[in-house]
Structure 1
């Protein structure tokens, strides 16, 4: 009696394990091999960007890129002429790459938002972002004149023991401020600051003799 019971129990247990294993295999196969295509829009990001650049209203370009179209095109050309950023073999243009980067940093769009807009996989979007970021980090070396470390320290600091203690390696003074802005009505919302008035955020750097 006991032997028969345990024999039947083992048979039922084996059957349950086989059924469970079969369900796992079926689910894995569905996930890995029977995928439903997600990014199916045939035109893709290149058509979208070209239409935006060639025929869109300037305000629309400003909303999408967070910068003026003329600046966008100038920056694209500069990157192509001076830096290693080039069009990819799969016709991934510099305009597309720069647009993806600007939508992430300027509009705070998510990776998924950009997958839907440009019809590329998330890994590709991330790769493009870091490619443009690495490229732009080279930009300041070619466009900004940094202070010379050998420049003598201003006498107002060097001869004052109070200030010298804190500003021994001082080169320039740097600060940001908001300047009152007068703008066309179509772009007013873009320049309204957190205090409610219109302004342009400006970062200023100056030498001691200009202070």
Structure 2
């Protein structure tokens, strides 16, 4: 009996020892695989060298690769560094972290390509992409500021076409569809009117082409009017606030309501229609729509710059949908940051030169959204008391605008009888893309 008992103890003891050895081996294997990481590629400081190659080379190389000039890039680094949003890690410095993010969104580069180019694992690239993304989102209150309540210079300086009629206008609002990557079971909700899978964003900008509000993450089937209604009635962060007595310009897909002034429906509106016709307004509604379109065009131009600068917004980026929505906001924040460092004219020249070199990626041009494309939301009710008051406000604006226009045309016709050069009867707005000839303003 004692012998059998001893043999049983020895067997149990051996089993425990073998089990302990197996656990130790498993732990060591786990550490090697997941805890103790060596370089994914045996390329010492390759990411640092690649970063310096971009930001330390020519101005053109930095702008082509990152969409920012060197000055704007280092200003962005300083902005995040001072606020403690980013810090150097053991292997990746802040400059490289930001370069990885900017390079990815500027050209929609895949994770594997970035991993090979910067000498890191795909997990490392993904981790720093998300770190920088969330750091940029925290700059929202710094770079996406509410619009000023003073009359914009774009309006106050043009006393013939825009002032005083639009003196309380603070910007323009519109929706923009961005390609979205979602699971098949969500395709129906995210399919827009053109049949594409997209998210619909709502954005506002001022007349300096800086975004003042942006709301992303809505499915492509949602109308602009529905998203706007949600934005102005939601509570807390993300609420769209319109200062008392001020208004935004919107297109015919929105209701004419307090804080939002839309054009007349079923009346010639878009600038391309005026460009092609070479006609003058026939009545107050056409004149109002022409000048409304000339001002509201700023949001179309802003959208065009945004998508031309960041190619990731033109394709279905394969990220979780929340990340896709955040990327749109981050691009708008970077757009504003760039315009704090460079002028609008400088940026337009850069993007135009790029299109001329590589060719435009789409035949669509700013402000080419035809009337058939404007969403007709059945929820829009122009008969409510608030909307009736706004319709009366629009009628008064249009009446005053038309009366002044007719009086000025009569004066110019009389003055031009003895003038051989009639070119001064009409202006040629540089920033409007407005080929229509609206009589020139008086000399200031």
Q: TM-score range by the shorter chain?
A: 0.5 to 0.7
Match of 1:152 in 2: 244
Q: Distance in 2 between matches of 1:136 and 1:76?
A: 10
Deviation, structure 1 residue 110: 0.5
Q: 1:44 aligns with which of 37, 43, 46?
A: 46
Match of 2:128 in 1: 128
Q: Distance in 2 between matches of 1:189 and 1:170?
A: 42
Deviation, structure 1 residue 84: 1.7
Q: How many residues end up aligned between the 2 structures?
A: 158
Match of 1:13 in 2: none
Match of 1:143 in 2: 143
Q: Distance in 1 between matches of 2:98 and 2:141?
A: 19
Q: 1:74 to 1:112 in 2, by over 3 A?
A: same
Q: 1:91 to 1:195 in 2, by over 3 A?
A: same
- Is 1:65 matched up with 2:233? no
Q: 1:195 to 1:112 in 2, by over 3 A?
A: same
Q: 1:195 aligns with which of 351, 358, 363?
A: 363
Runs of 5+ unmatched residues, structure 1: 1-28, 156-162, 200-207
For the aligned residue pairs, the C-alpha RMSD in angstroms reads 4.1
Deviation, structure 1 residue 66: 2.2
| Residue deviations 1:92-151 (CA, integer Å, cap 9, x gap) | 111111111111111111101111111111111111111111111111211232258373
Deviation, structure 1 residue 192: 4.1
Q: Which has the higher helix share?
A: 1
Q: 1:137 to 1:171 in 2, by over 3 A?
A: farther
**TM-score after normalising by structure 1:** 0.58
1:5-24 alignment to 2 at 5 Å?
none
3-state secondary structure, aligned to 1:175: helix
Runs of 5+ unmatched residues, structure 2: 1-28, 34-38, 148-239, 262-295, 306-344, 367-393, 398-444
| Residue deviations 1:45-102 (CA, integer Å, cap 9, x gap) | 0122123323x122222222122222111111111112421112x1411111111111
3-state secondary structure, aligned to 1:166: coil
| Alpha carbons 1:46, 1:96 under 8 Å: kept | yes
Q: 1:196 to 1:103 in 2, by over 3 A?
A: same
Q: Distance in 2 between matches of 1:133 and 1:50?
A: 21
**TM-score after normalising by structure 2:** 0.30
Match of 2:92 in 1: 92
Q: Distance in 2 between matches of 1:84 and 1:185?
A: 34
Q: 1:146 to 1:61 in 2, by over 3 A?
A: same
Q: 1:41 to 1:69 in 2, by over 3 A?
A: same
Match of 2:323 in 1: none
Match of 1:19 in 2: none
